[in-house]
Structure 1
Amino acid sequence: MDIAATCINDIIRQLEDPTILCDPAACRNLMAKVMNMIGRGVDVSNLSPHIAKLLAHPDPMVKKVACEFVCVQTEKSSDLMLLVVNSLLRDCSDSSPMTRGLSLRTLSSLRQESASEHILQAVQKGLVDHSSYVRRIAILSAVRLHRLSPDLVIEMGIVDKLYSLIRDSDPVVVVNCLLALEEILKDEGGVVINQKMVYHLLLSMPKFTSWGQAYVLTLLKKYTLKSEEETFDILNILDTHLQESSYSVFMHSLQLFLLYISTLPHLKEKVLFRCKEMFVSGLNSGNVELTYSIIVFIENFLDDSKSVFCECYKSFFCRFKEPPYLKIRKIEILPRLVTPHNFLEILGELRMYCSEVSSMVSFSAMKAIGQISKQDTDYFDRCVQKLEELLEIPEDSVWANVLQVFELLDLRSYARLDNLMQIICSKSHLQPTNENGCCANLFLIGEYGHLLDDSPYILEEFIGNYLEECPDVIRTYLLTAVMKLFLMRPAKCQHLLGRLLEVCVASRNKDLNSKAYNYYYLLKQGPEFAKEIVLNKRFSH
């Protein structure tokens, strides 16, 4: 006999000893051993009938552990369920509300349909119990019963009883009822919110916990206002919650407020302006999770109410100890807050982030500068110049990131474009080691390389050194770059294009192969026709 079996037999022997059963401390030690064995994966099913008897034990701790044990074991044995149901039903009438609640919760955890009638009996009794604790358990037990036997819950009028308990004096009972109804009626759209319920819940809000208030406010979004008078009545009640100390309640209140004034759009900016101090306080709180939540929340209103948040743009500046994901989210918002008055300060701040240790933060800052450059022609040259300064940093990753941002911009109007292209083409960074950077570099040479005499020679050197080893995505960019330069300078690029087309036509990559054939057929139609297609953007300038 192994050690586990010996230990189980020893526990059974002790559980049959009346002396030990009368000693709460000894029983607790035995139950601790049982739970330890369960934690180690030992099969303790032989203990089930003996521990089931402990459901009637007077010690609350022993009773609680016994309840946890039978909840698990009854799934494996229907015979055990018959043993425990009567004991649990008897305890549902105990004088102690804690015992009644524990027994009801255990009974509703028996996941066998044959127990449905017994659970229903206990739930119906628990819903009218004078103890709020038992009523709370009974409501949640109704949800478990619905999962076990949906038709029984509907037929026996449990839903109506739950609706009536929404006016209960205990706030937790009220929230539990709403949760239960939302779950039970989810196929029908959840709990039905009417006018009386809206007023009752809003006036009862101070009694609820912060979580309960947030949940109630979420459910109130279901209600459709009937008149303008009703709208202002409810908004007056809701108004007090816009200054809540709990940010969860504050944000849910504001969401509901904005939903209710959707027919009065002229009020939206005034409401947001009034809440600005709460937003700024949260953004400057130093709480990373709260700051992130507020930023995600604010993003929904930035486009319509930019003026509200432009004044507090400094609250979106990154802090040294903030995690990268939060810095990136702040950086993504800053371009949307730019005005002629704060442009230079935001640009300088973003330029500083470009030197961040995190490459993701650095790249996000560069992209943000690129986005700002597109907003106004007055911003363009300054933004591109800031990005150009980054090319002086002797770091391949920085170089690659800057080129990827340049790839997204139309640089034809940049006053220093000739100088920028000289910098790009004078560096020895055109290597396939950084795929994204190399592709961006090739794109820029193809797009603006006609401004430099030596751009064909740079591509010729790249083809000679790396054509055989570079991946197909780089070959695709290379083919486009050579094609564009050929259309501008055919004499210098003819041999390059011929060699490259030959390689690409023979490629097994369908995209590359297709692009090579397309360029070949365009050239057969004549150079002017090819220019009109390939260089269309440049010609339309």
Structure 2
Amino acid sequence: MNTATMFVAFPVPPNLGLPQTRQGKVAELRLELNSGSKKDKNFTQKKIALKKIVANMTMSNNDMVGLFPDIVACMAIQSLEIKKMCFLYLVNYARMRPDIAVKAIPVLEHDMEDPNPLVRALALRTMSYIHVREFVEATVPLVKHLLRDIDPYVRKTAAFCVAKLYDHDRHMVEASDLIDRLNNLLRDDNPTVVASALASLMDIWERSDAIKLTIDYSNASKMVAILADCSEWGQTYILEALMSYVPQESGEALLLAERIAPRLSHSNSSVVLTCIRVILYLMNYISDQKQISALCRKLSPPLVTLLAKGPEVQYLALRNALLILQRRPEVLRNDIRVFFCKYNDPIYVKVTKLELIFMLANEKNIDEVLTELREYATEIDVHFVRKAVRAIGKLAIKIEPAAKRCINLLLELVSTKVTYIVQEATVVIRNIFRKYPNQYESIIGTLCEHLDSLDEPEAKAAMVWVIGQYASRIENSDALLEDFLYSFAEEPVEVQLALLTATVKLFIQRPTKGQELVPKVLKWATEETDNPDLRDRAYMYWRLLSTDMESAKRIVMGEKPAITAESEKLDPVTLEEMCLNVGTLATVYLKPVHTVFRNARPRKLHDSPCLQRPDYPEAVQLPNPKSLSQFNQGQQPSDFDPRVPGSRPAPPNSNTTNTQSQGNLAQAVHDADAYFSQQVSQQASQQAAVNDADEYFAQQMRGMQIQQPGDSFGGDAGHGYGQGYVVSQSSAYQPGMGGMGGMNGMGGGMGSMNGGGMNGGGMNGAQGDLLL
């Protein structure tokens, strides 16, 4: 029986077919945009279609540009909602299709005559946003007209448009009288218009070198008077503009600071930070220290209040507090508890609070601070724990009477045997030893008990430094160093440099203990490594030890100045500039403004009779260059500045005739020849001295058995580490003058990797002309 197979065809729904093409989507939106009956008085269908178009445009769908003619046609519809969406489309696609966009200019010009001020302002704002030549040229006369509009909202919008036009074409704006008209708005009756005009002028001033913004006391007083009537952003604009006011009398600066002080209690953080910046600026022109102290006390509560806001605002306030404390330490002096960390603070807020705690710590509150830091050092976050341990060590350096308490806390933390705590504590204890030499040596034994916990380069280098510096007090210092030297080849350069210096210190303090280690380490550092810094230091130590041990001891083990905790502060000039930018993004980075924003105008304190500029250290004045013609006679040359005409000293019996000038030139050439001939003879005699030193040095090294067979990285030959990096070990010695000589001959010049090159000599060489 045959069975027939029957296929039934079902119609496919239109929404379940193939994906719609982009052209199809544009055609569909065009159809929706142009649909709509006359009964649709609210243009509902067009609004829905425009919302879809704007949504596609927001997702960077450039296919929507094909609807440009249809959108231009919709701009004439008298509906503010439709105009907003059409104008948004125009701003987004005008630069892609300027030929079609210019057709919208008549519509926009017509809308600027609309009785509704919102439509007028919207049309003007849209035209100023479009960076197309035809739109910029058409906007200039319209802005001039609307700067005198009867509605303050339109005037405010026109004021901002001037700055926008300046961004598009500054030459066109400077050639017109727009800036003068904008300046006239400063006398407007509406505070919002005045604030907008100030904001526009400030924006233009920031980007122009030809415009100077000056505000006298009368205008500044009027600006402060309208602060209370402005919006929060208007207040920010006015306070920003007050930074351009230069007080001429101390009383004027004090009065303005007192008048704007109520803005410190504003709810907007931008207003508060800008007000703090202006008060800090005006303090530079106030001579009465009691008044400055009173103003500083007013700055503390608003900064503390900002810490109750979100973590981002907290971070901004904390970074600015770091600056303010460096410039005005009396601010926040008694508010250290508010900077104690909370359990739910983000890590970046905690770390910044830790910096502020360190800055505010003193002898009175050190016990409270150390108790808090002990808690931080037991938290889960490793990065924060490291910062807390480092802060304890820095406090020992900063507050000398509390050093013992800080060290005891560090030893307590080391006893926990947590690896990262031990390593961080080792680093800070090294710095404590540098601050207080020959004190607290009793804790060295505790550190040596935890050598196995050290696996980070900085911690290893710190421990090696301690062993080398106090080799005479550590009984088994040679054995400890030998343990570190076992892995010399695999260590980072930082640790290798520390090991090299520590070994030399051991040899100087305990020659019998170090006489076997020094030759091996010097050989590894000069022959079997390729780092230039390590090789250079090894060569210097080698030559130093081979010439005069007493001099080596004075140089290597000489008394050094103690370190301080002040090194992390900004230099005074940078600090001054940063305080003039409190509240801006540059203060987050704690870097000068021009390094963060390349085109930003640098700020500085302007000269004034009442400017109280602090005494900054003067720059070091380099001596002027000296006359070459006097070197041959062994005289002390007179100073001259080659940049200043006529400052070069005249030779004896000189006059102003042309013949005599030519004779002076010949004399100068003769003096130069004689000078360089003398230099060549001096170099020859120096080379002879170098050769003598090389022979002596080679004898010394042979006596130290530096060429022992089997010496390799790690100490004994049986350890099996091989020879490491051997550079041109078989290169022949080639004599030359100066520079780097052959390693086996200790002389010659700096050669190539294979033994030839610059002035002879091999790369595998020591310094031929370095005599210490």
User: Structure 1-normalised TM-score?
Assistant: 0.91
Counterpart position of 1:87 = 107
Moved more, 102-111 or 46-55: 102-111
- The structural deviation recorded for 1:16 is 4.7
Distance 1:265 1:247, change over 3 A: farther
Distance 1:355 1:13, change over 3 A: closer
Check if 1:237 corresponds to 2:259: yes
Query: Is the Cα contact below 8 Å between 1:181 and 1:190 reproduced in 2?
Result: no
Moved more, 152-161 or 273-282: 273-282
- The structural deviation recorded for 1:498 is 1.3
Distance 1:237 1:96, change over 3 A: same
Query: Is the Cα contact below 8 Å between 2:324 and 2:331 reproduced in 1?
Result: no
Q: In 2, Cα distance between the equivalents of 1:307 and 1:12?
A: 67
Check if 1:139 corresponds to 2:179: no
Counterpart position of 1:536 = 558
Distance 1:491 1:271, change over 3 A: same
Q: In 2, Cα distance between the equivalents of 1:377 and 1:99?
A: 70
Q: In 2, Cα distance between the equivalents of 1:143 and 1:37?
A: 31
- What amino acid does structure 2 have at the position aligned with 1:375? K
Query: Is the Cα contact below 8 Å between 1:400 and 1:440 reproduced in 2?
Result: no
Query: Is the Cα contact below 8 Å between 2:299 and 2:331 reproduced in 1?
Result: no
Query: Is the Cα contact below 8 Å between 1:486 and 1:494 reproduced in 2?
Result: yes
- What amino acid does structure 1 have at the position aligned with 2:322? E
Query: Is the Cα contact below 8 Å between 2:35 and 2:45 reproduced in 1?
Result: no
Query: Is the Cα contact below 8 Å between 1:184 and 1:190 reproduced in 2?
Result: no
Q: In 2, Cα distance between the equivalents of 1:9 and 1:242?
A: 57
- The structural deviation recorded for 1:305 is 5.2
Distance 1:307 1:16, change over 3 A: closer
- The structural deviation recorded for 1:134 is 1.8
2:471 is paired with a residue whose SS is helix
Distance 1:75 1:329, change over 3 A: same
1:410 is paired with a residue whose SS is helix
- What amino acid does structure 1 have at the position aligned with 2:493? D
Check if 1:35 corresponds to 2:57: no
Counterpart position of 1:7 = 25
- The structural deviation recorded for 1:229 is 4.5
- The structural deviation recorded for 1:244 is 4.2
- The structural deviation recorded for 1:290 is 4.1
Query: Is the Cα contact below 8 Å between 2:389 and 2:421 reproduced in 1?
Result: no
Which of the numbers 322, 325, 349 marks the counterpart of 1:326? 349
Check if 1:484 corresponds to 2:505: yes
Distance 1:35 1:497, change over 3 A: same
Query: Is the Cα contact below 8 Å between 2:33 and 2:50 reproduced in 1?
Result: no
- The structural deviation recorded for 1:403 is 0.8
Distance 1:326 1:23, change over 3 A: closer
Moved more, 527-536 or 260-269: 260-269
- The structural deviation recorded for 1:71 is 2.1
Which of the numbers 213, 218, 221 marks the counterpart of 1:196? 218
Which of the numbers 208, 218, 232 marks the counterpart of 1:210? 232
Q: Give deviations 1:248-275, integer Å, cap 9, x for gaps.
A: 4344334323433424151222222244
- What amino acid does structure 2 have at the position aligned with 1:28? K
- The structural deviation recorded for 1:314 is 1.7
Q: In 1, Cα distance between the equivalents of 2:45 and 2:184?
A: 46
1:129 is paired with a residue whose SS is coil
Structure 2 counterparts to residues 125-136 of structure 1, below 5 A: 125-136=145-156
Counterpart position of 1:25 = 44
- The structural deviation recorded for 1:414 is 6.7
Q: In 1, Cα distance between the equivalents of 2:259 and 2:331?
A: 24
Q: In 2, Cα distance between the equivalents of 1:490 and 1:430?
A: 29
Check if 1:500 corresponds to 2:518: no
Which of the numbers 282, 299, 306 marks the counterpart of 1:260? 282
Check if 1:459 corresponds to 2:477: no
- The structural deviation recorded for 1:303 is 5.0
Q: Which runs of 5 or more structure 1 residues have no equivalent in the other structure?
A: none
Moved more, 43-52 or 231-240: 231-240
- The structural deviation recorded for 1:496 is 1.5
Query: Is the Cα contact below 8 Å between 1:396 and 1:429 reproduced in 2?
Result: no
- The structural deviation recorded for 1:348 is 2.0
Check if 1:121 corresponds to 2:141: yes
User: Structure 2-normalised TM-score?
Assistant: 0.65
Structure number, greater radius of gyration: 2
1:537 is paired with a residue whose SS is coil
Identity of aligned residues (%): 23
Q: In 2, Cα distance between the equivalents of 1:44 and 1:286?
A: 42
Structure 2 counterparts to residues 58-207 of structure 1, below 5 A: 58-185=78-205, 186-187=207-208, 188=210, 191-207=213-229
Counterpart position of 2:723 = none
How many equivalent pairs are there?
536
Moved more, 511-520 or 287-296: 287-296
- The structural deviation recorded for 1:358 is 2.3
- The structural deviation recorded for 1:85 is 0.7
Counterpart position of 2:431 = 408
Q: In 1, Cα distance between the equivalents of 2:139 and 2:181?
A: 16
Distance 1:103 1:416, change over 3 A: closer
Counterpart position of 2:370 = 347
- The structural deviation recorded for 1:538 is 7.3
Q: In 2, Cα distance between the equivalents of 1:430 and 1:486?
A: 26
2:429 is paired with a residue whose SS is helix
Q: In 2, Cα distance between the equivalents of 1:217 and 1:233?
A: 15
- What amino acid does structure 1 have at the position aligned with 2:407? V
Query: Is the Cα contact below 8 Å between 1:350 and 1:369 reproduced in 2?
Result: yes
Counterpart position of 1:363 = 386
Query: Is the Cα contact below 8 Å between 2:422 and 2:450 reproduced in 1?
Result: no
Distance 1:356 1:257, change over 3 A: same
Query: Is the Cα contact below 8 Å between 1:57 and 1:63 reproduced in 2?
Result: yes
Distance 1:447 1:430, change over 3 A: farther
Which of the numbers 267, 287, 294 marks the counterpart of 1:270? 294
Moved more, 512-521 or 32-41: 32-41
Distance 1:455 1:340, change over 3 A: same
Judging by fraction of residues, say which structure has more helix.
1
Query: Is the Cα contact below 8 Å between 1:51 and 1:66 reproduced in 2?
Result: yes
Moved more, 338-347 or 388-397: 338-347
Distance 1:287 1:111, change over 3 A: closer
Distance 1:201 1:426, change over 3 A: same
Q: In 2, Cα distance between the equivalents of 1:258 and 1:427?
A: 49
- The structural deviation recorded for 1:392 is 0.7
Which of the numbers 220, 245, 251 marks the counterpart of 1:223? 245
1:409 is paired with a residue whose SS is helix
Moved more, 383-392 or 57-66: 57-66
Structure 2 counterparts to residues 365-514 of structure 1, below 5 A: 365-410=388-433, 416-418=440-442, 420-429=443-452, 433-464=455-486, 466-506=487-527, 507-514=529-536
Which structure has more relative contact order (CA 8 Å, sep 6+)? It is 2
Q: In 2, Cα distance between the equivalents of 1:207 and 1:400?
A: 58
Q: In 1, Cα distance between the equivalents of 2:104 and 2:138?
A: 11
Distance 1:59 1:215, change over 3 A: closer
Query: Is the Cα contact below 8 Å between 1:4 and 1:42 reproduced in 2?
Result: no
Query: Is the Cα contact below 8 Å between 1:258 and 1:268 reproduced in 2?
Result: no
- The structural deviation recorded for 1:367 is 2.4
- The structural deviation recorded for 1:361 is 2.0
Query: Is the Cα contact below 8 Å between 2:223 and 2:238 reproduced in 1?
Result: yes
